[in-house]
Amino acid sequence: MAKAWMKAISGLFLILSLFVVPSGIQQAFAVGNGPNYNGNETIKKERVKNYEEMVSFLEHVTSRSDLLELETIGQSVMGRDLFLVTFGTNPDNPTIVFLTQQHGNEEMVTEGALNVIKNLSTNSRQVRELADSVNVLFVPRLNPDGAEADVLFELEDYVGGGLSTRTNANGVDLNRDHTDLTQPETRALHENVLQKYDIDYLIDFHHQGTSQAIDGRYVSGSMLYPTNSSVTPEVVEGSKQLGKVVYDAVEARGFGLIGRYNGGTANTIARNGLASTYGFSTLLFEMRGMTDHSREEAVLGQKSNGYLIKQAEIAMTAAMEAIADGSILEADTSFWDELPLQRPIGEEEGE
């Protein structure tokens, strides 16, 4: 990773607090207070853009800025276009990828990505300065068929009636397909993004169940760096630095409480496989709760999930800024040694 951008970075002006988010109503829903389903909320997707709405949104906001480009990288099993949004195109600058919604029922993270893309479409001086220092690639909602519940199997006994599901239309978990690449969604990501760009960092955004906790309190999210032994120490260290940047930004908020994700070492998942195959740093970031699921304890209530959208937005913004100003290279990774391992109350499913 000894790239020219690292040497050039010392003189860069710090671009801090580009997209300061007013603290307010989200913080009324503090950690430990939900949003749980609890068997008494109606499960809806009102906060989430459906596929057509997402496409219209992406077309609109990217057309407002010459710094943003929208391109199609492939099609899902059911024929929906898959998208890449690029911000910044300087090959001398570092590049980060924000990947969301490999799992169709993990949706707030995509809303966060759409908000960040919108923020980057404003043509402000700060945005232009950011584009001078970092390239950002967004792959929002890699699994649109799962998100639309347009799948080739039945969603029996889902709490919300089958609003969305984890796998793609073929019933394949895309985040177990990063070595075999059997599915059109994973192939599109690898062939038209990961193999095409000179990438330094990637954050893979997910949602986990609602019952993970540390210190007796529900977490707002969890994180982990690559843990496969084939990933080089330099790549792992860069991943841990990326985690530090995200951790500090989220924990600074009233709702933020992050645990260590208890993840495996398989290269079939993005966190390990992409770091191993392509040699860039990766971070898994899991948010709390899913849109719909067959198990009540996995499902997010409707009331306060706005803070989860904000959490994704904060993580992306902090990562972009820390890479742009070079401060990520100074991030102290020792906090990982103290980060409590989250523990579920009941069974969980994640990554």
In 178-234, which ranges are E strands? 201-208, 212-214, 217-218, 221-224
Q: Is 293 in the site for Zn ion (CB under 5 A)?
A: no
Choose between 106 and 325: whose C-beta lies nearer to Zn ion. 106
Q: What residues does 86 pair with on adjacent strands?
A: 69, 137
- Please identify, among the stretches 19-27, 33-41, 135-143, 203-211, the one whose residues bind Zn ion according to the rule CB under 5 A: 203-211
Considering CB under 5 A, how many residues would be counted as binding Zn ion? 3
Q: Output the smallest distance, CB 223 to Zn ion, in A.
A: 13
Q: Is 178 in the site for Zn ion (CB under 5 A)?
A: no
Q: Output the smallest distance, CB 143 to Zn ion, in A.
A: 9
List helix spans (H) across the chain. 4-8, 51-63, 108-119, 125-131, 144-148, 184-189, 233-251, 270-278, 306-324
Which residues from 63-122 bind Zn ion, rule CB under 5 A? 103, 106
Task: Report helix, strand or coil for 100.
Answer: strand
Residues with a catalytic annotation lie at: 286
Contact assessment for residue 141 and residue 48, using Cβ atoms and an 8 Å cutoff: no
Q: Is 288 in the site for Zn ion (CB under 5 A)?
A: no
Choose between 94 and 104: whose C-beta lies nearer to Zn ion. 104
Six token digits for residue 342: 């989250």
- What are phi and psi for residue 79, nearest 5 degrees? 90, 10
Choose between 185 and 325: whose C-beta lies nearer to Zn ion. 185
Q: Is 206 in the site for Zn ion (CB under 5 A)?
A: yes
Q: Output the smallest distance, CB 27 to Zn ion, in A.
A: 26
Choose between 205 and 280: whose C-beta lies nearer to Zn ion. 205
Q: Is 141 in the site for Zn ion (CB under 5 A)?
A: no
Give the interface with Zn ion as residue ranges (CB under 5 A).
103, 106, 206
